[in-house]
Amino acid sequence: MQITVNDVELAVETFGDPADSPVLLIGGVTMLSWPDEFCAALAGRYVVRYDLRDAGQSTLVDPDAPRYDLRDLVTDASELLMALNLDRAHVVGMAVGGFIGQLLALDHPDQVASLTLISTRPVAPGPVDPDLPEHDPAMMERLFGRPKPDWTDRDSVVDYMTETARLMSGSRGFDEQDASATAGAIFDRAQATPSAQRASHLGTMFAAIDCKPRWRERLGEISAPTLVVHGEEDPFFPHGNAEALAKEIPAATLLTLPGVGQGVPRETWPVVVPALLRHTS
């Protein structure tokens, strides 16, 4: 369904009974950051997932030159909860969706029953603070040193994004079949233009939007119970970022996934799903 918030339309899907405790999933860019089976596994919760603006089937204007900032994306999430008549929700943010989750908990604390941060960090895109680990340089060289795909060709994009998933994974947890299927599904849902495909797969708008002011210094203000989930071998946002989040958010709990890189691959679900259900109970 399409829901209008903050002057844009967001593509939204829900799972479960609206009478159950709501869980808002904020992915890296598209709702397909959260596979159908993962959403269904959160039984007993009313799960909401959505495409960020300029991605998937939400309003697309110009992902290469966005006219909004990170706080607009936070407002999108806040107004989406209101549009769904959800006074409070358990918020789960992954990767750059974790930026939105942190700011939602800081700027709209009454709407956040609990916070889960997956594969993210306490600072915005760009250079990190001196005490935080940066992207793994070898991984970044392999990631950006290879030929770009033809963003109008499905097979080319699927191959490229499957290899991207492999580079982002740790020593365990990479599932080529899952990675290929997800890339294909994202391609099929996005508009058939290079900019729309790049944004839906890579979140390229985040390199251009204004993410100021900083929020790391405010992490101590987060009052929502917080769970930090992070792969021990994450090469993009290395594990030290999770340690900083868990240290600086009051009473936060850190769940480390051994051998895992970015995200929560299917192999981690027997650990991650029960942890989420406990945290959102």
Q: Report which DSSP code applies to 90.
A: E
pLDDT in tens, 220-233: 999 999 999 999 99
Q: What per-residue confidence (pLDDT) applies to 207?
A: 83
Q: What per-residue confidence (pLDDT) applies to 203?
A: 86
Question: What three-state secondary structure class fits 172?
Answer: coil
Strand order in the sheet with 21-26: 2-5, 8-15, 45-50, 21-26, 89-94, 112-118, 226-231, 253-257
pLDDT in tens, 127-141: 999 999 999 999 999
For the question of whether the overall pTM of this predicted structure is more than 0.95, the answer is yes
The yes-or-no verdict on residue 52 having pLDDT over 90 is yes
The yes-or-no verdict on residue 180 having pLDDT over 90 is yes
The yes-or-no verdict on residue 173 having pLDDT over 90 is no
Can you read off the two tokens belonging to residue 76?
């999108």
The yes-or-no verdict on residue 204 having pLDDT over 90 is no
Q: What per-residue confidence (pLDDT) applies to 205?
A: 86
Confidence category of residue 208, pLDDT binned at 50, 70, 90: confident
Confidence category of residue 197, pLDDT binned at 50, 70, 90: very high
Percentage, residues of the chain above pLDDT 90: 93
Query: Residue range 56-68: average pLDDT?
Result: 92
The yes-or-no verdict on residue 215 having pLDDT over 90 is yes
Q: What per-residue confidence (pLDDT) applies to 2?
A: 97
The yes-or-no verdict on residue 166 having pLDDT over 90 is yes
pLDDT in tens, 100-115: 999 999 999 999 999 9
The yes-or-no verdict on residue 187 having pLDDT over 90 is yes
Return phi, psi of residue 58, to 5°. -80, 175
The Cα–Cα gap between 205 and 69 comes to 10
Type of residue numbered 218? R
| Mean of the per-residue pLDDT values of the chain | 96
The Cα–Cα gap between 84 and 46 comes to 11
Query: Residue range 43-63: average pLDDT?
Result: 95
- The set of residues, in sequence order, having a beta carbon less than 8 Å from that of 141 and lying 6+ positions away, is none
Q: What per-residue confidence (pLDDT) applies to 253?
A: 98
